[in-house]
Structure 1
Amino acid sequence: MAKADQKELPNSTRLPEFGSIIDIGGTRCMPAITKELLLHEPAGRRILSVVTLSDYPGLQLWSKLTHTPTYYQTSDEILLLQKHAVEISSSIVPGSVIVDIGSGGLRKVMPLLDEVEARQMTVFYFALDLCREWLEDDLKALTSRYTHVQCFALWGSFTDGLEWIKQFNGPKVFLSLGSTLCNNIIPVASKGLKLWADAMVPGDVMLLGYDCNLDEEKVRESYIAPEGKFDDFIRHGMEHSNALLERDWYRPEDWELFREAEFQTEPPALVHRFVFRAQRDVKDEVLGVDFKQGDRIICYESFKYPPSVLQQQFSLAGLREKASWKSPASDIYEFLLVKD
């Protein structure tokens, strides 16, 4: 396909070649994030960061999991975006910079980009993620598919992406699909959302997709895959942490992996998490690791908040809901947010 001739954003920022990966920080943050959450998480919560699941093998495992019959979250969000792509894309204006926060794959965003392309509107799409190899694969697919949607990738962390976006003063669209933002305990989630809200000005929009299902059985089943593949994905994060921290602190025989789900009342939510529990004392003096038998590490924690709780988060972040859409298949929502 011939690509659109435009090589500059509306504010005259010069763009690299169509389909380029822009290194805005790469993976330099991954060891520090992994160690901080594992050893020093506030309120006594020890967490295995999702960055440990964001390398190429991890994302390959994840992509397979999203195709399993019980994992409704991806397929139901795609149905929503397919059904309402015309309405949602009407909020995007020509020349917009579209930042896909933690893109991780293309299946969800393609219905929206397809609609923008069909309108022959020139926009600038940037997929933000930590895995360069995954971004390379995505860009190959995107650049062969679109002419008017100018596609690039940002290789780095969310913090790197926030800093990078400051150079643009034209219209911006932030995409947070797949429950990327707001998925945490409220103080942490609201703080994270506000960082992105603070990067917005009047005229900018955010499309935030979120799983609001409170059906415990449905949610539990979505995290169970044939032949223990979901467990393999979670264990990969622990194994990858050895490489990131340059220490073989994790040995599978030292840890039990299990799932748990619980309803919390304030604020109301269904919370599902994977948990590693130490079977014996685990120490690494070089890293400062010191787990006692029975200590827990939380991994891949998912907060299923109802829309009313999300709206409280939006307000705390200085955002206002302009419109929302619900999936025809389940309680998956897309919220269109603007600066309050």
Structure 2
Amino acid sequence: MGLDSGSKDGRNHYRQREPNRPAKPSSNDIFEEEVSAETGSSDNIDILQLISQGLKSSPRSLPSLLLWDAVGLNLYEKITESPDYYLTRVEADVIRNNVDAIVQSIGANGVILELGSGSLAKTSIILGEFAKREIPVTYFALDLCASSLAKSLEELRLYLGHSPLVACHPLCMTYQDGVSWVANQQFLRGKRVTVLWLGSSLANEPVNEFRDLVNGITTAYTNSSSTSNIQFLIGVDGNKDASTVSRAYDTSDGLSRQFALNGISNVNRALGADIFDADKWTFNGTWDPQEEAFHTSIKSVEEQEVRIGDQSLQILEGENIRFILSRKLSSSQFEKWLTGTALQTMTVWEHTKFSYGLYQLAPSSKSML
């Protein structure tokens, strides 16, 4: 999942607040459930501030974090199963066709940290090979909702036949929490660590945030380990066919639209008041040929006023508020993204028909963080 994502099936609780007097909820107010999982410090995220900043920016935006509640994640998993959504099956093909090399690169007794783990459908291909070959490995699934992590990991363990050689653990935290987690894990010292980031989710992030994240993880690991034995396996989508991409992000079954519009409910829940009237908004998804990216937005169907605390914002009819920008990166563009990081490309496992690659990256001996 392309962002700090996660959550699941509609049972996550929202604290009751006085109408029109929003507190400052944290991300865990929106996504947390009582399930055993190691958690991060995402209470420090000020959702109110993020929403306010995004709505006052130009163009207007809302934090994509708000899409990944229980309902949103469930919708997203259904979207990934749609015939229109090519990314899942294409990346799964790449993994299946190169699973021997992938398993070898991770190694026996290796540690896998997956960012935005989701349903684990593609990850199960890799871990299934470890179980089948009786190779020990430790896997950490990082996502935002504890209940979703618990459910996905239980399904994974069943798929693996409860193999004692594949240890699976949930990390209920944000990407930035994950950096701190890596820095504080003594057991990682001397271990071969693989950071798995699938689904071309990296391209939802601004390039500077991508660089900060991979540098942060690399530095955290290097500082806590006597050896530099870390790699990244990152899925990158370079498909720029407007019609194919548009169908993937605006699926014919309408699920993409439900997914985006569900974010309106989460804005209201995060703010503790009915700030957005769902009847005044519609889905708007567009391919931007200049940015080579798909915009997932909501569009105002009439001129309206939105009040956040003591602030009043005038929204014009037809004005868009963006949730996600899904960039498509060619191999040369992705190499530019790596500029300013400690990483270099070791191998690219590519799809035979689609412009989609799984990049094996490792710190360059000449790179200095």
Q: Which TM-score applies when normalising by structure 2?
A: 0.79
RMSD of aligned Cα (Å) = 2.3
Q: Find the counterpart in structure 2 of residue 272 from structure 1.
A: 294
Residue type at the aligned position of 1:132: A
CA drift of 1:50 comes to: 2.2
Q: Find the counterpart in structure 1 of residue 274 from structure 2.
A: 248
Q: Find the counterpart in structure 2 of residue 156 from structure 1.
A: 173
Q: 1:183 aligns with which of 195, 204, 217?
A: 204
Structure 1 CA distance for aligned equivalents of residues 329 and 235 of structure 2? 12
Alpha carbons 1:128, 1:155 under 8 Å: kept: yes
Q: Find the counterpart in structure 1 of residue 239 from structure 2.
A: 213
Structure 2 CA distance for aligned equivalents of residues 45 and 157 of structure 1? 25
Q: 2:311 aligns with which of 285, 288, 311?
A: 288
CA drift of 1:222 comes to: 1.1
Cα 1:239–1:138 change in 2 (3 A) is: same
Q: Find the counterpart in structure 1 of residue 155 from structure 2.
A: 141
1:338 maps to 2:362: yes
1:38 maps to 2:54: yes
Aligned to 2:316, the other structure's residue is in SS state coil
Q: Find the counterpart in structure 1 of residue 73 from structure 2.
A: 59
CA drift of 1:130 comes to: 0.5
| Structure 1 residues without counterparts, runs of 5 or longer | 1-18
Structure 2 CA distance for aligned equivalents of residues 92 and 20 of structure 1? 27
Alpha carbons 1:319, 1:337 under 8 Å: kept: yes
Structure 2 CA distance for aligned equivalents of residues 36 and 307 of structure 1? 36
Cα 1:331–1:293 change in 2 (3 A) is: same
Alpha carbons 1:48, 1:238 under 8 Å: kept: no
Cα 1:318–1:133 change in 2 (3 A) is: same
1:198 maps to 2:219: yes
Aligned to 2:89, the other structure's residue is in SS state helix
Alpha carbons 2:179, 2:220 under 8 Å: kept: yes
Residue type at the aligned position of 1:115: E
Aligned to 1:165, the other structure's residue is in SS state helix
1:172 maps to 2:193: yes
| Structure 1 segments of 4+ aligned residues over 4 angstroms from their partners | none
Residue type at the aligned position of 1:177: L
Residue type at the aligned position of 1:300: I
Structure 1 CA distance for aligned equivalents of residues 257 and 282 of structure 2? 11
- Give deviations 1:146-177, integer Å, cap 9, x for gaps: 32110000011111111111123232110000
| Structure 2 residues without counterparts, runs of 5 or longer | 1-34, 223-227, 365-369
Structure 2 CA distance for aligned equivalents of residues 285 and 30 of structure 1? 14
Q: 2:347 aligns with which of 323, 327, 334?
A: 323
Q: Find the counterpart in structure 2 of residue 263 from structure 1.
A: 289
Q: 2:144 aligns with which of 107, 115, 130?
A: 130
Q: Find the counterpart in structure 1 of residue 30 from structure 2.
A: none
CA drift of 1:273 comes to: 0.8
Aligned to 2:220, the other structure's residue is in SS state coil
Question: 1:307-318 counterparts in 2 under 5 A?
Answer: 307-318=331-342
Residue type at the aligned position of 1:316: G
% identical equivalent positions: 24
Aligned to 2:275, the other structure's residue is in SS state coil
1:232 maps to 2:258: yes
Aligned to 2:339, the other structure's residue is in SS state helix
Alpha carbons 1:183, 1:189 under 8 Å: kept: no
**What is the aligned length?**
316
Residue type at the aligned position of 1:78: A
Alpha carbons 1:284, 1:290 under 8 Å: kept: yes
CA drift of 1:241 comes to: 1.6
Structure 2 CA distance for aligned equivalents of residues 143 and 338 of structure 1? 29
- Residue range with higher mean Cα deviation, 244-253 or 194-203: 194-203
Cα 1:20–1:336 change in 2 (3 A) is: farther
CA drift of 1:331 comes to: 1.3
Structure 2 CA distance for aligned equivalents of residues 68 and 84 of structure 1? 24
Cα 1:111–1:98 change in 2 (3 A) is: same
